[in-house]
Chain A
Amino acid sequence: MSGFEVRRHDNGEVSILHLKGFLDAHTAPQFEKALHELVKENRVRIIVSMTDLDYISSAGLGVFMGFIEEIREKGGDIKLSSMSEKVYKVFDLLGFPSLYEIFDDESGALARFNETY
């Protein structure tokens, strides 16, 4: 299995998580940890950028669901951006587009955050 990597990049009030590689049941805890840290720091405006994400499994999708309620309660949101067609298909199949805002690139997501807050 290919590896997985989460890099965090803070941009003002917004935190951007860059996902890279394979996000599945084995690597999901890494992503979970990154989100958990953000929530702990009360940084709840989060963009998950998936430019380099090759694959996402149901366990990986579950991570979003595990946090979204708390983040939205705190007045934040998770916005998704820059996903490949293949990854988008998975999100789309499950119906994520009706639950999350998905942007072509980070700047779109950033702009949305800036106009809402």
Chain B
Amino acid sequence: MKTNPIPEKIALFFVVLLGLLTFAFDILKFSSSLDFSQWSYLNEGINFVILMAYYYYVRHKRFVSQSDIQINLKNFIKLLAALYIWTLAWKQILSPSFVTTDFPKAPDTIGTVVYSNLITFAAIVVIVPMLLMVKNLIFYKQKNRTRIYLALALSATLLGMMTTVILRQPLDVSSDSEHIFQSLVLATGIVFYLILATHNSWITYLSRKMKYSYFLASIGLVWVIAMMFDVIFKESVAAHSLVVAAFTNLSWYFLFFYALFGSLTFLFHLPTARVFDRKMKEVASLHQLGRVIAAEFDLGKLVKIITEMTKDVIESKYTWIEVYDDQTGHLSVAATINIDKKELRSMDNHALHQIGIQVIESKKRFSINSIPKNGPYADIRSWKKDIACIAAAPLLGANDQVLGILYATKSVEFGFDPDDLNMLEAYANQAAIALENVKLIKNSLEQERLERELQIAREVQMRLLPQKLPDVPLKLETLTITAYEVGGDYYDFYQNHEDHLGIVIGDVSGKGTSAAFYMAETKGIIQSLTREQRNPVEILEATNLILWDSLERKSFITLLVADINYKKRQLSFARAGHCPVAYYSSRRKSVEFLQPGGIAVGLDKGPVFSKTLELKKINFEKDDVLAFFTDGLSEAMNKSGEEFGEERLGQILTEHAHEEVDVIKDKVINAILGFLQGQNLHDDLTLIIVKCT
């Protein structure tokens, strides 16, 4: 509380001091039998100051600033009880009596004077916090006019206090013309009190149990409050101070109405209490579930939470969830409540099985409210005696496919009302969303992993390719375009023999990391073989022999190994299932595709491979062009499914062979891009152009 304690203590000091002062005044008035009527205004003024000072003292105290309904109600009752005890105790001790003719009634004995002072004191001390507590209840759900009504009610109260002092008439409803003004003031006050009394929406949000118990309590409370005025305040307070008398009187009206309306509201809420309770629970649990689903990606924990919530809200006995297993494709129990998972898994109940099939096929919820009467399902009871009704709802995924089933049972017949079934369905839906979420995340993680793997494979592949062109008296140009999913294109140059350039070009079947690994292996093998050997056939035979053992059976590698003697202008090459070599002869001005026999590496252990493999030798001349390529080029496909083909390559070579190799390369690139028209390559593309000098 951010209040300054000093003024509050001063206020309390004033309350006590002024209280004693008025008490002294009362004693003096009683014992001297003098007429103090002029002084009585001062007395009322002092009493008003006491009331205000006490309000100032008490308003921020912790026990009157609680927003919790129960605490406010309990404190209210405690104060009310204290007031009764206080009053009855002093009544016994002092047995007060009043002169009954006048208003206000005058005390008959000195004891009565003391009594009226004590009661007035108690009235102020107790009623102010009681009103503050009721104010807390009213403001539990504030509406935009609540403050206005409160202000109007307070004004009416102040007016009533003033008129009572001035007119020295009680606040009663009377047709007497003399009392008409007081009656009007009272009526006005009551109107506002009634309006305020309807501000009891806090009752709506109480639980069912509270509504029942508070309703019973409120009947007693209304009666106790109704009695309060007659028993406690009627004569005693007025005898001491009219201001406080009017205040207690009007407060009593208000408290009485508030308690009465509260009691009636309780009564009206009783029939719907269960439903309201249930709805509140549903809303809260669905809300919580929504949050949990967004934050929890552990499937096991999620299904556990969902079954627990289902049990809590629909108050089922056994609850379990079955989910399709990705590996086995069968339904398996994922979470259970009140029943052993193993027991459910091992249980082979035909009737339950039937229910499962029905839910999966219809994709709708299923329920039996009375098992014994339904012959076919009586089977369930032989398994568990305390299953009197059962309900099941499918977990429907985004594409309307069944991801699993949520089951609930109760041990009383007709235990599931439509609300329960709706809720079961709602939970099943939430469970489906959760399951799909988890799957999506898993998939995207998997996707990310694959992407990363692909990236690595791509980098490996790029590093395996020669980083620079060999320094030989030949004009060379190479082109590599990798497809999105890494293919297995590979090429290399080697110069282990004088006047000779070795070229190897190949394509590993398969994609991604496996292709990259095979490529690396092939590169290593060929590099070591070419150190000693130059004959393409021997190199390929040896390569096939080595790779046959390590290659997966469904993988193979097409390879072409060429040996160019640039001094003698001789090309000899062998082709293991690879694309032919395009050879442009500057003399004939035409392109020839050289395709000697040979099967891909990894298709045969050796005999067939050796039998089919042919060595091709040609002698070339200055300005002749050789093009080595992979099927990514010849099979590059456009939208209509047409392939680029070797013929187009041949045509470009024929037309541009007289130009520099980089120009020829550009022409090929342009031709391919023009042919593809925005279509992506589905395989790697490699091209090596050699122009002889």
Contact = CB atoms under 8 A, between A and B. Distances in A.
Given A95-B597, A98-B611, A54 B556 contact: no
Interface stretch (B2-10, B140-148, B437-445, B505-513): B505-513
Contacts of B553: 65-66, 69
A88 interface: no
B603 A63 contact: no
A107 interface: no
A99 B554 contact: no
Nearest to A65: B554
Q: What bracket does the count of chain A residues touching chain B fall in?
A: 20 to 34
B511 A95 contact: no
Contacts of B683: 57
Interface in A84-116: 86, 90, 93-96, 98-99
A94 B599 contact: yes
Q: Which secondary structure characterizes the binding site on chain B?
A: loop
A52 interface: no
Interface in B559-591: 576-580
Contact of B510 (A2, A58, A90, A95): A58
A45 to B, nearest CB: 20
A25 interface: yes
B490 to A, nearest CB: 13
Contacts of B556: 58, 61-62, 65, 94
B641 interface: yes
B643 interface: yes
Contact of B599 (A59, A69, A95): A95
Given A93-B577, A98-B612, A99-B603, A58 B597 contact: no
Interface in A41-100: 54-55, 57-59, 61-63, 65-66, 69, 86, 90, 93-96, 98-99
Nearest to A2: B641
Contacts, number: 68
A54 B635 CA distance: 12
A67 to B, nearest CB: 8
Interface string B445-474: 000000000000000000000000000000
Interface string B523-564: 000000000000000000000000000000111101000000
A95 B682 contact: no
A44 to B, nearest CB: 16
A5 interface: no
B532 to A, nearest CB: 26
B88 interface: no
B447 to A, nearest CB: 16
A77 B511 CA distance: 28
B509 A58 contact: yes
B600 A59 contact: no
A94 B555 contact: no
A63 B554 contact: yes
Contacts of B612: 95, 98
B456 to A, nearest CB: 18
Contacts of A98: 599, 608, 611-612
B577 A94 contact: yes
Nearest to B682: A24
Contacts of A96: 599, 603
A59 B682 CA distance: 12
Given A65-B554, A94-B558, A25 B608 contact: no
A105 B558 CA distance: 28
B170 interface: no
Nearest to A94: B577
A66 B603 CA distance: 10
B643 A95 contact: no
B604 interface: yes
B502 interface: no
A24 B643 CA distance: 15
B107 interface: no
Q: Identify the interface centre among B556, B603, B631, B682: most chain A CB within 10 Å of its CB.
A: B603
Interface string B586-622: 0000000001011110111000100110000000000
B641 A65 contact: no
Given A65-B553, A98-B608, A99-B608, A59 B577 contact: no
Interface of B: 485, 507, 509-511, 553-556, 558, 576-580, 595, 597-600, 602-604, 608, 611-612, 631, 637, 641, 643, 682-683
- 5 closest A-B pairs by beta carbon, nearest first, are A95-B599, A66-B554, A58-B509, A62-B554, A94-B577
Given A58-B507, A66-B553, A95-B603, 17 more contacts: A24-B682, A25-B485, A55-B637, A57-B682, A58-B510, A58-B556, A58-B558, A59-B509, A65-B602, A65-B603, A93-B595, A95-B577, A95-B597, A95-B600, A98-B611, A99-B599, A99-B603
22 contacts: A24-B682, A25-B485, A58-B507, A58-B509, A58-B510, A59-B511, A62-B510, A62-B554, A63-B554, A65-B554, A65-B556, A65-B603, A66-B553, A69-B553, A93-B578, A93-B595, A94-B556, A95-B577, A95-B599, A95-B600, A96-B599, A98-B612
Interface of A: 2, 24-25, 54-55, 57-59, 61-63, 65-66, 69, 86, 90, 93-96, 98-99
